[in-house]
Amino acid sequence: MHATSLHSLAYRRFARNSSLFLLMR
């Protein structure tokens, strides 16, 4: 369960970064 939570957060963070990168680009 804990591992899943961490993975979910990481995925969310990655998605956010990708969005920002696309916007900046």
1-25 residue pLDDT tens: 577 887 888 888 888 888 888 887 7
Pairwise CA distance, residues 21 & 16, whole Å: 9
Among all chains, which residue has been given the structure tokens 């990481």?
Answer: 10
Supply the pLDDT for residue 1.
Answer: 57
Q: Which two tokens stand for residue 5?
A: 């939570």
Supply the pLDDT for residue 21.
Answer: 83
Q: In 1-25, which residue ranges form alpha helices assigned H by DSSP?
A: 2-24
